[in-house]
Structure 1
Amino acid sequence: MSEFIRTRLLDNNAALVQMLGLCPLLAVSNTAINALGMGIATISVVVVTNFLVSLIRPITKKEIRIPLFVLLIASVVTALEMMMNAYFHELYLVLGIFIPLIVTNCLIMARAEAYASKNAWWLSIKDGFFVGLGFALVMFAIGLMRELIGQGTLFTQAHLLFGEWGHHIELTLLKNYSGFLIAVLPPGAFFALAILVAIKNKRDIKKSQDR
């Protein structure tokens, strides 16, 4: 794995290290499919936004760059929201207000300002994809943990994202399981994130000791 990819996926992960975008990360990760849907939406927005910001950087005046970036992000999110409403309507209803709230995700603005506004479009697309992927993987992992512990299932309501084929991957791993309510409530998201951060920190400490 190249340093470019490793930095964005692991070493400087947007969710585990920078703690960006925690609102959607914690709010919609109560199931794996919800987390996956929001993760894919976030990747799409950050990639397209990085691409557009990089394209217009030669003609963007420093004084207006932030309002312009916000306008671009809002336009991309609006287009994504309309597409999800048209093609993934049930999932769109489940994710609700958190789709338009992608506009306020600090992760997207941070990459636009820190990277896309200073680099070529192909590098900006690459940066957006791997930063978004790192964020989405953390969200998906939290969704898996919360759904398994809270409901004893995996990929429930997968048809919302994958259509009829999704019914074939819905799993009930713990039959007659009464559930662990706190896992699917907001505190469960914080506990799951804390576990992942602890694992990440443990890995970093071990890595530094092995040098």
Structure 2
Amino acid sequence: MTKSYREITLEGLWTNTILFSQTLALCPLLAVTGTATNGLGLGLATTAVLVASGFLISLLRNFIEPEIRIPAYVLIIAGLVTIVDLFMNAYLHNLYKILGLFIPLIVTNCAILGRAESFASKARVLPSVLDGLMMGVGFTFALILLGAVREILGSGTLFAGASLLLGPSFSFLEMTVIPDYSGFLILILPPGGFIMLSLIIVGKRMIDNQFEKARQMDDDPIEPVGKQITI
């Protein structure tokens, strides 16, 4: 069944997010979200690959034989990741050095190959591009959210080093949230990533449950009050 643009947007941003719903790409999530800046950088790189791969795979879907579709998708994604890797090395070198191996490892991100197989290979170009964009935005938001929580509670700052990693135009993001804060080291380390991720997932599911209960109450018919009198 063809999905509407509204459904595609809602899935990417909330109901079927890569991290909080599908729980994919956990390795880079826990490794690079020590700060919100790192999360933003990796999220933007992944979004670029998701959008471009959705476009190319949808465009070429009628020319790729079913027997070789997975190797073909991996080849397309690897080529796009290589372009992103070279671009970041040339223009965002400081961020490139921090993210390191996790940029080439975007090729192995199951979410990108999964969207190629489940959506882009079956849909037209524009919906596929929108699906990649919304999944990427949802992924980026999740990285920034987790990175921001860990950074604030771990060191008292937010988007630290943004001007150095992303360029001088991002200096407005840098702020000190808790002055003279000694920090809570475990939240910056991978164990802190597991702890905060689990709390965020629990929070999202609680919100989903509340929305579901409200929807069911709206759908239930209103029972008549009092007894009916039969004449």
Q: TM-score, normalised by structure 2?
A: 0.88
1:50–1:128 Cα contact (<8 Å) kept = yes
Q: Give the letter aligned to residue 92 of structure 1.
A: Y
SS at match of 1:59: coil
Q: Which amino acid aligns with 1:85?
A: N
In 1, Cα distance between the equivalents of 2:129 and 2:165?
Answer: 24
Is 2:64 the partner of 1:60? yes
Q: List alignment gaps of at least 5 residues for structure 1.
A: none
Q: Does residue 109 in structure 1 map to residue 113 in structure 2?
A: yes
Distance 1:4 1:80 in 2: 25
| SS class of match (2:61) | helix
1:159 and 1:167 in contact (8 A); partners too: yes
Provide the residue aligned with 1:28 in structure 2. Answer: 32
**Corresponding residue for residue 13 of structure 1:** 17
Residue of structure 2 in register with 1:202 after alignment: 206
1:143 aligned partner: 147
Instruction: Give the distance between the partners of 2:12 and 2:173, measured in 1 at CA.
Output: 30
2:178 is paired with a residue whose SS is: coil
Aligned position for 1:95:
99
Radius of gyration: which is bigger?
2
Q: Distance in 1 between matches of 2:138 and 2:77?
A: 19
Please state how far the C-alpha of 1:45 moved relative to its aligned partner: 0.5
**Cα separation, 1, equivalents of 2:42 and 2:173:** 19
The one-letter amino acid paired with 1:177 is Y
CA distance in 2, matches of 1:91, 1:162: 7
Q: Deviations over 1:41-89 (max 9, x none)?
A: 0100011011111111111100000001011111000010000000000
Unaligned runs of 5+ in 2: 217-231
Aligned partner of 2:184 in structure 1 is 180
Return the letter of the residue paired with 1:61. E
**Contact 1:157 1:166 survives alignment (8 Å):** no
Is the partner of 1:118 in helix, strand or coil?
coil
Mean Cα displacement is larger for which, 166-175 or 125-134? 166-175
Q: Which residue of 1 aligns with 2:159?
A: 155
Equivalent residue pairs, number: 211
Residue 161 of structure 1: how far off its partner (Å): 4.3
Q: How far 1:160 sits from its partner (Å)?
A: 3.2
- Equivalents in 2 of 1:81, 1:162: separation in Å? 15
Distance 1:169 1:62 in 2: 46
Distance 2:102 2:41 in 1: 11
Of 152-161 and 44-53, more deviation after overlay is shown by 152-161
Task: Rate the CA distance shift 1:161–1:122 in 2: closer, same or farther, 3 A.
Answer: farther
The C-alpha deviation readout for 1:16-65, integer Å capped at 9, x for no partner, is 11111111111111100000000000100011011111111111100000
Match of 1:171 in 2: 175
Q: State how far apart, in whole Å, the 2-side matches of 1:95 and 1:55 are.
A: 31
Indicate the residue corresponding to 2:229 in structure 1: none
Equivalent position SS for 1:115: helix
Q: Distance in 2 between matches of 1:104 and 1:162?
A: 24
